[in-house]
Amino acid sequence: MSSLTMHTATVPTCIRALNSLAAILEKAAAHAEARKINPAVLLGTRLFPDMLPLAMQIHVANDIAQGGAARLAGAPVPTFEAKERSLAEWIAASRATVAYLQSLPPAQFEGAEDRTITWQTRSSTKSMQGTAYLFNHLLPNVFFHVTTAYDILRQSGLQIGKADYLAA
């Protein structure tokens, strides 16, 4: 077994989460088609009125995974365009984020644990040391938004379970 590196903690973990998200979204597309549900209705569904809808959960999961990995790799942070997308386009966007993550070489993450990571939130600029950023911001946010997307779809009648979420 190899030692834990910032690359192995970041890239394969985010890839697994986003691949699971894309697979769940593919099931949602088939579910919507079989039951004659407008996919736009699913994309607008929320768990609670003050929570983000499914489309934004997908957006944020992709944006945080892509941007966070880029910051840790010392690469330019790509823009994950905020725009309305169809379910098929969200699946493709998630697959494209996975491809981007796969393109980041392990060597780029060397020294990331000690690198100061700075990013902009809606209300402020934040900075954190690389390891803390990965484990206290990046991964928890990716998991939160993927889980919330899963929960929205499960609540909407999609027959998925823990194995779908944990799928490799």
Residue pLDDT, tens place only, 1-43: 568 999 999 999 999 999 999 999 999 999 999 999 999 999 9
What digits encode the pLDDT tens for the residues 68-118?
999 999 999 998 888 899 999 999 999 999 999 999 999 999 999 999 999
pTM value surpassing 0.75? yes
Query: Can you read off the two tokens belonging to residue 108?
Result: 């780029």
Handedness of CA 65, 15, 137, 114 (dihedral sign): negative
Residue 115 lies in a domain: no
Its domain, for residue 152, covers 6-109+127-166
Q: Which domain CATH number covers 151?
A: 1.20.120.450
The conformation of residue 74, written as its DSSP 8-state character, comes to: T
pLDDT for position 104: 98
Residue 86 lies in a domain: yes
Looking at the structure of the chain, the number of domains it has is 1
Rounded Cα–Cα distance for residues 56 and 149 (Å): 9
Residue 118 lies in a domain: no
Residue 121 lies in a domain: no
Work out the average pLDDT over 150-160. Answer: 95
Give the per-residue SS3 of 89-143. Answer: HHHHHHHHHHHHHHCCCHHHHCCHHHCEEEEECCCCEEEEEHHHHHHHHHHHHHH
Residue 168 has pLDDT above 80, yes or no: no
pLDDT for position 1: 52
Query: Can you read off the two tokens belonging to residue 136?
Result: 């206290």
> Mean pLDDT lowest for which of 55-59, 120-124, 128-132, 135-139?
120-124
Return the ∠ at Cα 166 (arms to 74 and 12), rounded to 5°: 20
What digits encode the pLDDT tens for the residues 85-94?
999 999 999 9
